[in-house]
Amino acid sequence: MLRVTFLGTGGSLPTPERNPSAIMVNREGELMLFDCGEGTQQQMMRAKTGMKALSSIFITHFHADHILGIPGLIQTMSFHGRTEPLKIYGPHWVHEFAKILSALGYYKLRFEIDAIDLNPGDIIKRDEYSIMALKTEHSIPSLGYALIENERIGKFNRQKAIDLGVQPGPLFSKLHRGESVEVDGKLIHSKDVVGDGRPGRKIVYTGDTRPCKAILEASKDADLLIHDSTLASDQQEWAIESMHSTAQEAAALAKEANVLRLVLTHISSRYSDDASQLFEEAKDIFEKVVVAEDMMELDIPYKDKK
């Protein structure tokens, strides 16, 4: 399973319709939170994402609308008896932030916070996927993130193996693992019966940014791009000044990167209840686009299973 739940889709200010930025990714039961604006824990409760399996929080930058939900969330998890450490990744200043978190108020967390600061280009390697930190262009130090799954082993052609004289059983597993086997003095190679490796899935999240090179490169053929889309095109100058993107700019980048799907987020409070202008402007450039809504859920299938 690879599920993305949009917990907060507003830009800078919370509104009655939209919480500040927070995106939950559930990958095979492991939860990862990308940004954690004010009120995120209640959004998690509403969306029933759970909290126990939260392994990591990835912060794009230290503007209040991306981090204020963390103090409340960690206290709740401590109250519920969490003892497993929580990893918090972010750009420079994440250690100072973690210190503030543990000094805040009269309480003692029952679990450790591992603060890890990242530079653009850093890669966190895990068993089945990696997270890459991307250089973004905002008014303070900032990062985007790409979640990139490892390539999966190719498909096993069962019939072809039988035709080559291999008996179903342990030899099948050997071949599928990439080993060669001998049958009646004849050597059969893995590549004879196992197809090419199949791509894993890729999700890119920009955080707050102008359209930029690192995002474009990381988004090449991505299954999902979640892009800053704070403003409409008539606010282009303000987008440049405040270092955000317009819906058109996000769409143009998605098109150039050939992504499968684009989600617009960080929607300015001025479009909070009606983001149709953003949607229409983006759709003229890139067809497969939606404007994120709080509580929206997307399941990301493998490309070869569509």
User: Would you say 138 is a known binding-site residue?
Assistant: yes
Return the number of the residue (9 or 26) whose C-beta is nearest Zn ion.
9
Return the number of the residue (208 or 249) whose C-beta is nearest Zn ion.
208
Return the number of the residue (149 or 208) whose C-beta is nearest Zn ion.
208
Q: How far is the CB of 241 from Zn ion (least distance, A)?
A: 13
User: Would you say 63 is a known binding-site residue?
Assistant: yes
> Is 196 a known active-site residue?
no
Residues that bind Zn ion (CB under 5 A): 63, 65, 208
Which tokens sit at 280?
């229409």
Q: How far is the CB of 19 from Zn ion (least distance, A)?
A: 12
User: Would you say 66 is a known binding-site residue?
Assistant: yes
Return the number of the residue (18 or 201) whose C-beta is nearest Zn ion.
18
HEC readout, the chain: CEEEEEEECECCCCCCCCCCCEEEEEECCEEEEEEECCCHHHHHHHHCCCCCCEEEEECCCCCHHHHCCHHHHHHHHHHCCCCCCEEEEECCCHHHHHHHHHHCCCCCCCCCEEEEECCCCCEEECCCEEEEEEECECCCCCEEEEEEECCECCCECHHHHHHCCCCCCHHHHHHHCCCCEEECCEEECHHHHECCCECCCEEEECCCCECCHHHHHHCCCCCEEEEECCECHHHHHHHHHHCCCEHHHHHHHHHHHCCCCEEEECECHHHCCCCHHHHHHHHCCCCCEEECCCCEEEECCCHHHC
Q: How far is the CB of 82 from Zn ion (least distance, A)?
A: 27
User: Would you say 227 is a known binding-site residue?
Assistant: no
User: Would you say 208 is a known binding-site residue?
Assistant: yes
User: Would you say 80 is a known binding-site residue?
Assistant: no
Catalytic residue among 65, 223, 228, 294: 65
Q: Whole-angstrom Cα distance, residue 198 to residue 151?
A: 6
Return the number of the residue (14 or 200) whose C-beta is nearest Zn ion.
14
Q: How far is the CB of 91 from Zn ion (least distance, A)?
A: 12
Q: How far is the CB of 30 from Zn ion (least distance, A)?
A: 26
**Binding site residues for Zn(2+), as ranges?**
61, 63, 65-66, 138, 208, 266
**Binding site residues, as ranges?**
61, 63, 65-66, 138, 208, 266
List active site positions.
65
